Amino acid sequence: MKFAIRALAFSATLLFAAQAFAQGAGPGGWPNKPVKIIVPFAPGGPTDTAARLISQKMSENLKQQFYIENQAGAGGNLGMGNAAKAAPDGYTILFVSSSFVVNPSLYDRVPYDPYKDFTPLTVAATAANVLLVNPAVLPVNTPKELADLIKANPGKYTFASAGTGTTPHLSGELFKLTYKLDTVHVPFGGAGPAIQSIVAGHTPLAFTSLPPAVPFIKDGTLRALAVANKTRVKVLPDVPTLAEAGIPDQEADTFQAVLVPAGVPKDISNFIYQEVVKATKSPEVTAKMDQLGLEIICNTPEEFARQIKFEIDKWGKVIHDAGIKVQ
């Protein structure tokens, strides 16, 4: 009899645990079904990579599937617009890059309002932008030496970036405006092709996000003159910041950030924020991001909201002053 009672109690405990997992650990049993994470870019880029690292850890932690849906197109506008129209139930999460704050100024119209359509949660990580040269083509060691060389040879040199309106491109335009340089931008369809171009010497310099450039910098194929970051980056501790190189107010990175559609209940959005931070700061994810040259940030929703306003204003001015526009 005692054995039967114990067996019954044990079975009840297992049933309760199974129901708890099915219902989810969050408010109101969230998540009790798979959660979609929209990445508005193709697979394989830094935003997609960061989103997958974090989503896998959240799936482990919450015993529920968090899956990536890549919705590439229109510089990220397609996926961001679809996320803006998603049901505010916590089952759609948006994982974006800095295009979220650049596109409202870059395009005549975007299918989302960056202030009204989303609740910002956190910038999970950032990838610093870096100023690169091919040392076999441009034997310079500092940004000032590069600027002097371009000034002495107006119109001779071109610079590569991952594409028109990306923050590396805008970093290049900011550099041009600061020194009043005559150099032509050559946009590529991603950081990979831009890196290939500078390695081959077709474009002797480039502004790009750091992760895909790291192996070429470490083997000496490319030279990093400076990072457009507030502080030096862990993966390249000997490379100065632009400010250290004598060019202040040029900070520009590519953030990897998380938002949910406006209207998601506050308790659920807060829980998602906490779980994103927990996953991002886990030893496994931290180690992988360090290897990729991604710096973990995990700021608060309030800090991220202020950053959105600041960066929209900042990049809007650069885009206006440089006369950049995508129809």
Question: Would you list the domain boundaries of the chain?
Answer: 21-126+255-322, 128-227
b/e sequence 23-44, b meaning 16+ C-beta within 10 Å? ebebeeebbeeebbbbbbbeee
The SS3 of residue 283 is helix
Is 75's pLDDT higher than 90? Answer: no
Model pLDDT, residue 209: 86
105-162, pLDDT tens digit by residue? 999 999 999 999 999 999 999 988 999 999 999 999 999 999 999 999 999 999 999 8
DSSP state of 75: G
Note the pLDDT tens digit of each residue in 89-100: 999 999 999 999
Phi and psi angles of residue 189, each rounded to the nearest 5 degrees, phi first: -90, 45
Q: Given this chain, do its domains 21-126+255-322 and 128-227 carry the same CATH topology?
A: yes
Beta bridge mates, 36: 67, 92
Would you state the CATH architecture of domain 128-227? 3-Layer(aba) Sandwich (3.40)
What mean pLDDT comes out for the span 6-21?
A: 46
pLDDT, tens digit (0-9, with 9 covering 90-100), for 237-267: 999 999 999 999 888 888 999 999 999 999 9
From the list 83, 51, 46, the residue with the least C-alpha distance to 68 is: 51
User: Residue 10 has what pLDDT?
Assistant: 47
Q: Where are the alpha helices (DSSP H) in 156-280?
A: 167-179, 191-200, 214-218, 266-280
Phi (first) and psi of residue 52, to 5 degrees: -70, -40
The helix or strand, by DSSP H or E, that contains position 100, with its residue range, turns out to be: helix 99-106
The string of pLDDT tens digits covering residues 22-45 is 457 789 999 999 999 999 987 877
Euclidean distance between CA atoms 168 and 99, whole angstroms = 11
C-alpha 46/C-alpha 154 separation (Å) is 34
Overall fold of domain 21-126+255-322: D-Maltodextrin-Binding Protein; domain 2 (3.40.190)
pLDDT band (50, 70, 90) for residue 12? very low
Q: What percentage of the chain exceeds 90 in pLDDT? A: 68
CB contact set of 196 (below 8 Å; sequence gap of 6+): none
Q: What's the pLDDT score for residue 8? A: 47
**Any bridge partners for residue 35, and if so which?**
66
Q: What is the pTM of this model?
A: 0.79
At position 247, the amino acid (one-letter code) is I
In this structure, what token pair is assigned to residue 305? Answer: 């909201």
Compare 13 and 242 and report the one with higher pLDDT: 242
Does residue 317 have a pLDDT over 70?
Answer: yes
Q: Which residue has the tokens 């199974």?
A: 18
Q: Which of 119, 59, 129 is nearest to 293 (CA)?
A: 129
Q: State both tokens at 281.
A: 């700061």
What is the structure's pLDDT at 327? 61
At which residue do the structure tokens 């406006």 appear?
A: 262
In the three-class reduction of DSSP (H, G, I as helix; E, B as strand; rest coil), residue 137 is classed as coil
